[in-house]
């Protein structure tokens, strides 16, 4: 088989599924102290980043994830001045966050600096905000960083993590959510990627339970497509102590001074609608 006929395939044994992309070549591979990172050049989806055998992002469809991980939470908060991103080393979420002029400071805390450096090399379009004066890139343990954060100091926390296995498993615990609740101001919001509703309700439902036990009164899961992730159907889950997560700054969405490829007011409202099987488990 010639190189142009090769495919990258992510096999999810636990769900009996697989996803493949036709590739031209492998551009990079390395084992960091934390994980194995691979970069491919694909035929139809541009560059592809893979971590520990799992697809992370592609040039073609990353905007879906990055916009939905940032804009709904920021347009739900009344005035998101200080934002913390846990994970997100590819910098796409940071770039989306800093499109919001009301954000005065954004910290990105990712344990593996190599993810960011490889993103700067192979996905430079995602890293245009890295030198923004409001951005602080820290390469540290996000769980410990949140534990040490000052109380009532943050408006929005975005947990842009890998799947809840290995080091990322600690980001899905009640103890972590309790630290986040302490660090957030009263009207603060946390949003976390929450896997596929079709395949992972056994992850999403406990997230809601743990968030509520940690002090968050309100929780909402939003749905969106993500082609390269298992099932092609993904989600993020928001939580807040006082903000009901129902009201959005609709006028600010309409009058925003930046372009989006997926997100708008209608998408935001539609993403909050739950299919019946999710309602039955989350209500």
Which residue numbers are catalytic? 160
Sheet containing 54-58: give its strands across. 7-12, 17-31, 36-42, 47-51, 54-58
> Which residues are CB-contacts of 169 (< 8 A; sequence separation ≥ 6)?
none
Task: Give the CA radius of gyration of the chain.
Answer: 18
> Which residues are CB-contacts of 149 (< 8 A; sequence separation ≥ 6)?
84, 179, 182, 183
Q: What 8-state DSSP symbol labels residue 165?
A: S
Which residue stretches of the chain are H helix? Answer: 62-76, 92-97, 113-122, 142-148, 174-183, 201-213, 250-254, 265-271, 276-282
């Amino acid at each position: 088989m010639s190189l142009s006929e090769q495919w990258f395939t992510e096999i999810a044994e636990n769900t009996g599924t697989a996803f493949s992309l036709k590739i031209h070549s492998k551009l990079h591979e390395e084992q960091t102290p934390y994980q194995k990172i691979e970069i491919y050049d694909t035929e139809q989806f541009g560059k592809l980043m893979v971590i520990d055998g799992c697809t992370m992002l592609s040039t073609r469809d990353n905007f879906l994830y990055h916009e939905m991980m940032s804009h709904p939470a920021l347009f739900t908060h009344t005035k998101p001045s200080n934002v913390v991103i846990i994970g997100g080393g590819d910098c796409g979420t940071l770039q989306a966050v800093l499109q919001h002029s009301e954000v005065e400071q954004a910290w990105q805390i990712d344990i593996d600096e190599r993810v960011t450096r490889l993103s700067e090399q192979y996905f430079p379009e995602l890293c245009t905000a890295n030198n923004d004066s409001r951005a602080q890139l820290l390469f540290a343990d996000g769980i410990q960083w949140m534990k040490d954060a000052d109380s009532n100091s943050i408006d929005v926390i975005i947990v842009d993590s890998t799947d809840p296995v290995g080091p990322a498993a600690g980001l899905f615990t009640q103890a972590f959510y309790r630290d986040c609740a302490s660090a957030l101001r009263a009207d603060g919001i946390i949003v976390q990627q929450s896997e596929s509703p079709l395949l992972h309700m056994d992850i999403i439902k406990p997230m809601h339970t743990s968030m509520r036990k940690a002090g968050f009164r309100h929780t909402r899961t939003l749905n969106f497509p993500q082609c390269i992730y298992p099932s092609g159907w993904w989600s993020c889950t928001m939580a807040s102590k006082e903000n009901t997560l129902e009201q959005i700054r609709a006028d600010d969405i309409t009058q925003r001074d930046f372009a989006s490829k997926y997100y708008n007011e209608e998408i935001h409202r539609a993403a909050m609608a739950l299919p019946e099987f999710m309602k039955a488990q989350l209500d």
